[in-house]
Amino acid sequence: MASFGFNTGEYDPNAGFEVLPAGDYIAMLVEADIKTNSKNTGQFINCKWLITEGEFANRNIFDAVNITHQNTMAEKLGRQRLSAIAHAIGIPDAQDTDQLLQKPCVLTLGIKKDKEYGDKNIIKHFAAYQFGMQQPASPGSYQQTAVPTMPPQGMQQQPPAQPQINQAPIQQPAAQPQQQPMNIGGPNGQPVFNTPSSEQAAKIAV
């Protein structure tokens, strides 16, 4: 007999299994193993993602990506999904699973309703991680430093109106130089490069 060294009754048995709110999460792939599916009709990559920031840091998300399948549509969707992952982590021409590991990207999570087995998270999109991104308090949008915006095209700031001063008849008012419109900055925020939706591929059984 071997002692655990702690009382299991002191721990919540359901902790860590609740479905995460839908939204965007910074994460990295920590495990990617190629396996044969249960029907022996193809192979898939068994993916384990780790959320790295925010309230739900250290939670795992699991996914399966078909790479070969006797169903040509399932194979095509799986390979497109793998391409989306590779582009999101910055290695669009990846050739093996090791190249996919430990590189941050942004996962867009959804929730799939399942009355039999319970609701679960699915990965709907993959997007590139932008340096300086911060996991928001509420998943779904990222904090970015605001910068001044350019006036819309065709609209320019007008110089302030000059006050009218009554002058004696024999004096002429000095000519006032016209102020030029002011350039007050660049576009707001950084672009986010979203990859094509992969939700359809998630519905293909492996």
Q: What is the pTM of this model?
A: 0.64
Domain positions in the chain: 19-134+193-202
Residue 8, SS3 per DSSP: helix
pLDDT, tens digit, for every residue of 101-159?
A: 999 999 999 999 999 889 999 999 999 998 776 766 556 555 433 333 344 444 455 55
pLDDT, tens digit, for every residue of 66-101?
A: 999 999 999 999 999 999 999 999 999 999 999 999
pLDDT, tens digit, for every residue of 163-172?
A: 555 555 555 5
Q: Which own/partner pairs from 52-60 qualify as long-range (CB within 8 Å, at least 24 positions apart)?
A: 52/26, 52/27, 52/28, 52/104, 53/25, 53/26, 53/134, 53/135, 54/25, 54/26, 54/135, 54/136, 54/137, 54/139, 55/135, 55/137, 56/20, 56/25, 56/139, 57/135, 59/16, 59/20
Closest to 16 (Cα-Cα) out of 50, 64, 65 = 50
> Which strand ranges, in their side-by-side order, compose the sheet holding 42-51?
60-69, 42-51, 23-36, 104-112, 120-128
Q: Which fold has domain 19-134+193-202?
A: OB fold (Dihydrolipoamide Acetyltransferase, E2P) (2.40.50)
The mean pLDDT of the chain is 77
